[in-house]
């Protein structure tokens, strides 16, 4: 066995963001520091776990299952400190020092994998189980942030199993904060199911679309400002990346715009005054601490006039070399490889 630190990289998963994970992990693997031994483990969209031995290109283009794969299970026995891998009639224990989940959305970013790692005694890159679960669920994020006194848009939550009357919800929205409004699934990322409603028809359609992705959704007041984000790395005295700014010409920064930038632009650094930059930093630090984040997160906010409002927190943000999180760190002088190395070292503390 190599003397190198062994990193188990986990990708894929049962999420609408499965394909996003494949692109993120491919980019991360190409930038992985040479001092680590890297083992790759994939989860199919059906939820089956495998150890994967093959090319990065096959992962990126979703052909990895056609390569060399072995059924694998994360062992919850702390003495194993890794995976049980089935190779023919034999079951091998594959020890790792750190698990690096590069997964987005449900069953990866929502505390499930993080909780399993806590049971198994395996250090896991990123936020812990509770923090991950709270940040993933937009309702709970809002509840915690209200307690912490963080400015946010007005909002309320709707649960599908309780039944809902679109007309009554529309009237409640108009009465409480007016139109337009934003409709979001509580547990989804990459802007899946997110819409901006301007009238009853778009409101009704927005409810139906959001419920395709989750049994809960939130309806939010529309904030007439612009979105900024900030990459955070660490815990006690975290490193903050250079804030970025999203310039859009559409109603929302949807999936197509996020990953193709057809009409949108991302400015790094954000086009804000030094005073506003410090205000963003102050808000981000408060949000990060209040949610008990560690490792990494991308905190997204809205700037409205001279105020900073929380939008949401992504505990495993997009992780290609061109994604917002690495780009914000790059603007501070850290390469993608530097960022990965710092995350692993932070986890091993």
pLDDT at res. 263: 62
Provide the CATH number for the domain formed by 134-150+224-348 in this structure.
3.30.470.20
Burial class (CB in 10 A: 0-12, 13-18, 19+), 198: middle
pLDDT of residue 262: 58
Exposed, middle or buried: residue 282 (CB in 10 Å: 0-12, 13-18, 19+)?
exposed
pLDDT value at residue 192: 84
pTM confidence score? 0.92
pLDDT at 251: 59
CATH number for the region 5-124 comes to 3.40.50.20
- Nearest-5° Cα angle at 21, 16 to 27: 155
According to the model, what pLDDT value does residue 252 have?
62
Q: Rounded to whole angstroms, how far apart are CA atoms 1 and 230?
A: 39
pLDDT of residue 41: 98
Q: Structure tokens of 72?
A: 């694998």
Contact 11/43 with Cβ under 8 angstroms?
A: yes
What fold, for 155-221?
Dna Ligase; domain 1 (3.30.1490)
Domain edges within the chain? 5-124, 134-150+224-348, 155-221
**pLDDT < 70 stretches in the chain:** 1-2, 189-190, 250-263
Distance of CA 81 to CAs 103, 297, 329, Å? 20, 25, 31
Reply yes or no: is the peptide bond before residue 256 cis, omega within 30 of 0.
no
């Amino acid at each position: 066995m190599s003397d190198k630190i062994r990193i188990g990289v986990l990708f894929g998963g049962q999420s609408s963001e499965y394909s996003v994970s494949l692109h993120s992990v491919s980019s991360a693997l190409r930038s992985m520091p040479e001092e680590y031994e890297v083992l790759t483990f994939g989860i199919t969209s059906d939820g089956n776990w495998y150890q994967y031995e093959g090319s990065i290109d096959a992962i990126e283009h979703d052909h990895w299952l056609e390569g060399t794969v072995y059924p694998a299970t994360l062992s919850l026995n702390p003495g194993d400190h890794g995976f049980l891998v089935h190779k023919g009639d034999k079951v091998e224990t594959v020890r790792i020092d750190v698990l690096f989940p590069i997964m987005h959305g449900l069953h990866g970013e929502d505390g499930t994998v993080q909780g399993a790692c806590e049971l198994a005694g395996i250090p896991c890159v990123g936020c812990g189980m509770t923090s991950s679960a709270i940040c993933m669920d937009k309702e709970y994020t809002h509840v915690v942030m209200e307690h912490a006194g963080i400015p946010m848009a007005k909002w309320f939550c709707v649960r599908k199993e309780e039944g809902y009357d679109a007309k009554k919800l529309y009237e409640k929205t108009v009465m409480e904060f007016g139109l337009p409004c934003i409709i979001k699934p509580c547990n989804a990322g990459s802007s899946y199911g997110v819409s901006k409603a301007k009238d009853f028809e778009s409101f009704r359609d927005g409810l139906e679309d959001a419920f395709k992705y989750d049994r809960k959704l939130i309806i939010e007041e529309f904030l007439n400002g612009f979105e900024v984000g900030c990459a955070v790395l660490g815990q006690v005295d975290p490193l903050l990346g250079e804030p970025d700014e999203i310039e859009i010409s559409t109603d929302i920064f949807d999936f197509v715009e996020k990953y193709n930038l057809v009409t949108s632009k991302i400015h790094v650094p954000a086009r804000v005054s030094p005073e506003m930059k410090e205000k963003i930093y102050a808000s981000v630090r408060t949000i990060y601490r209040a949610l008990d984040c560690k490792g990494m997160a991308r905190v997204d906010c809205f700037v409205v006039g001279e105020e900073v409002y929380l939008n949401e927190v992504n505990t495993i943000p997009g992780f290609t070399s061109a994604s917002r999180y690495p780009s914000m760190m790059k603007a501070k002088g850290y390469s993608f490889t530097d960022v990965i190395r710092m995350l692993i070292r932070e986890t091993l503390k």
